[in-house]
Amino acid sequence: MWGGRFAAGPDAIMEAINASIGFDKRMAAQDIAGSRAHAAMLAATGVITDNDADAIREGLLTVLSEIETGKFEYSTALEDIHMNVEARLKEIIGEPAGRLHTGRSRNDQVATDFKLWVRDQFDAAEKGLLALIAALVDQAEAGADWVMPGFTHLQTAQPVTWGHHMMAYVEMFGRDLSRVRDARARMNESPLGSAALAGTSFPIDRDMTASALGFDRPTANSLDAVSDRDFALEFLSVASICAMHLSRFAEELVIWSSAQFRFVTLSDRFSTGSSIMPQKKNPDAAELIRAKVGRIFGANTALMMVMKGLPLAYSKDMQEDKEQVFDAADNWMLALAAMEGMVKDMTGNRESLAAAAGSGFSTATDLADWMVRVLKVPFRDAHHVTGTLVAMAEARGCDLPDLSLEDMQGVHAGITDDIFSVLGVENSVNSRMSYGGTAPAQVRAQVARWKEILNS
Ligand code: ARG
């Protein structure tokens, strides 16, 4: 491959450590698209003849169809997808194949191919996120007024609504969506024509190849272009944050579907059974999402480590970028789809949610707020009185609404019968009408806002 410079071929171990064809064949379509754009540009600028460009185009189409139909024979000796495609092109069209690599290097070629691949994955992530958000919005709409406990420290805090909880994840995945779009826009510059590192002396037209490949513009610095893997790192970072959200929700679904909680019933389609315990229905999809997130974080860290010590410009270390990104992308898309499927199919158990919503003194804050509002007691004092009443209820093994008016007046003489109107959970959630609060009316307003976003 290296012409006159080498007298001996590589050691078998050298070939094994050096070759990337085992994984970078996933970029075959991108490699051929990049080569077609490059060849057309070389002809347009007069660097190669139209006849050569035609032969190259036809040949590349043949190679592509061989790859798509599984007829292509990959060779480890040819290292990577770029050399494999070019070598086969040479077999098919002969001499003009040797002109394709004019004014480019594998360094700008691989950066271009990889960017095209990652760009497609950003688009797939956008689709996956939109579908998941739509499924969550549907759940929120159906249960906008279902009461459930809201937690802090996983201890009952205040009643919230099912719709509010679903919409919390809509906000998270909505930010992920905006990060996806943002990162995609930033990375959409073409490295092609940066050549090995310094640019080229041929009169190439980088705007032409950039626009043929759907890039917004060519990159502005050839050294940067061939050694930049920010786009892959941003992909992994965005994926990691989104995966963290997926994992938190997956964890909640695991807890919620347990016999102890019974907040949600996952569908059979997204659960598994046990080979020994006949009663079991396990939330495997949620557990696997939670686990796959670890791989995505790992990929992000791994590529950061690969890149952090590299001087400009290209170093072979950078070949290690692809497997990390491929694995993270596969698992991110799978996790998004699995979460969407689970959310679409799951049933919130309205009764269990409501029963849990009222337990654990969840309306204690409402009681304290009532004293502040009606009796004009300072909040800190109201907090103390309420705490005393909670301790009393706890000692008696009952909930706050089960205490009598006399009990309450024993702690604070000013309390009237009206207090019972705020101890109900429905009342509690309905009163949380501040913008972004848990009241069903607020939830419905957010559902409507998101439906508009999804339909635009
Ligand atoms: N297979 C290489 C990679 O994935 C392609 C670029 C090789 N460039 C080089 N100068 N050896 O990074």
Residue 71 lies in a domain: yes
pLDDT grade, residue 4 (50/70/90)?
Answer: confident
Q: In terms of domains, do 301 and 372 share one?
A: no
**CATH code assigned at 140:** 1.20.200.10
Question: Could you identify the residue written with the tokens 């907040």?
Answer: 263
Task: Check whether residue 83 and residue 118 sit in a common domain.
Answer: no
Whether residue 133 has pLDDT greater than 80:
yes
DSSP 270: G
Summarised one tens digit per residue, pLDDT across range 52-84 is 999 999 999 999 999 999 999 999 999 999 999
Give the residue, by CA position, lying nearest to ligand 1 atom 7.
Answer: 106
Q: How confident is the model at residue 359 (pLDDT cuts 50, 70, 90)?
A: confident
Pair (138, 192) in one structural domain: yes
pLDDT at 106: 98
Does 114 share its domain with 224?
yes
Q: Looking at the structure, tell me whether residues 334 and 436 fall in a common domain.
A: no
One domain, residues 273 and 172: yes
Strands, E assignment, 138-235: 147-152, 155-161, 189-190, 217-218
Place of tokens 């007829």: 71
| pTM for the full predicted model | 0.94
The pLDDT, as a whole number, for residue 360 is 83
Decide which of 102, 131, 150 is a domain's last residue. 102
Task: Report yes or no: 325 and 229 within 8 Å, Cβ to Cβ.
Answer: no
Q: What CATH number is attached to the domain comprising 49?
A: 1.10.275.10
277 has a pLDDT exceeding 90: no
Give the position of tokens 């070019």.
86
C-alpha pair distances (Å), 417 with each of 4, 31, 158, 371:
98, 76, 22, 12
Flag the least confident range among 35-49, 125-139, 318-332, 423-437: 423-437
Q: Which residues are catalytic?
A: 153, 274
Give dist(CA 183, CA 432) in Å, integer: 36
What is the extent of the structural domain holding 60?
Answer: 12-102
Same domain, 391 and 308: no
Same domain, 296 and 221: yes
Domains in the chain, number: 3
Distance 431 CA to ligand 1 centre (A): 62
Tokens (6 digits) for 423: 């101890």
Q: Which atom of ligand 1 is nearest to the CA of 314?
A: 10
Does the beta carbon of 109 lie inside 6 Å of ligand 1? no
Residue 318 lies in a domain: yes
Considering the domain boundaries, does residue 1 fall inside one? no
pLDDT band at 208 (very low <50, low <70, confident <90, very high): very high
In terms of domains, do 350 and 385 share one? no
Tell me if 385 CB under 6 Å of ligand 1. Answer: no
Is the predicted ipTM greater than 0.90, yes or no? yes
> Does any ligand 1 atom lie closer than 6 A to the CB of residue 106?
yes
Torsion of CA 270, 272, 278, 281, to 10 degrees: -50
Residues 158-192 pLDDT 10s:
999 999 999 999 999 999 999 999 999 999 999 99
Distance from residue 248's CA to the centre of ligand 1 (Å): 38
Of the candidates 76, 102, 128, which is a domain's last residue?
A: 102
Query: Is 144 part of a structural domain of the chain?
Result: yes
Cβ contact 227:312 at 8 Å: yes
Nearest CA to ligand 1 atom 3: 319
Quick one: pLDDT at residue 280? Answer: 78
Q: What is the pLDDT of residues 284-306, one digit of tens each?
A: 999 999 999 999 999 999 999 99
Residue 351 falls inside a structural domain: yes
Q: Are residues 119 and 245 in the same domain?
A: yes
Token output for 362: 């969840």
Whether ligand 1 lies within 6 angstroms of the CB of 81 is answered as no
In the predicted model, is pLDDT for residue 421 greater than 80? yes
Q: Is residue 3 part of a domain?
A: no
Q: Which of 102, 124, 149 is the last residue of a domain?
A: 102
Kindly tell me if the per-residue pLDDT of 274 is higher than 80: no
200 plus 240 within the same structural domain: yes
Taking the centre of ligand 1 as the mean of its atom positions, its distance from the CA of residue 314, in whole angstroms, is 8
% of the chain residues with pLDDT over 70: 99
SS (H, E, C) 303-372: HHHHHCCCCCCCCHHHHHHHHHHHHHHHHHHHHHHHHHHHHHHCEECHHHHHHHHHCCCCCHHHHHHHHH
207 with 125, same domain: the answer is yes
Check pLDDT > 80 for residue 3.
no
Does 7 reside within a domain? Answer: no
Condensed to tens digits (0 to 9), the pLDDT of residues 322-356 reads 999 999 999 999 999 999 999 999 999 999 999 99
Domain for residue 243, yes or no? yes
With a 6 Å cutoff on the Cβ, whether 20 touches ligand 1 is yes
Q: For ligand 1, say whether the CB of 107 is within 6 Å of any of its atoms.
A: yes
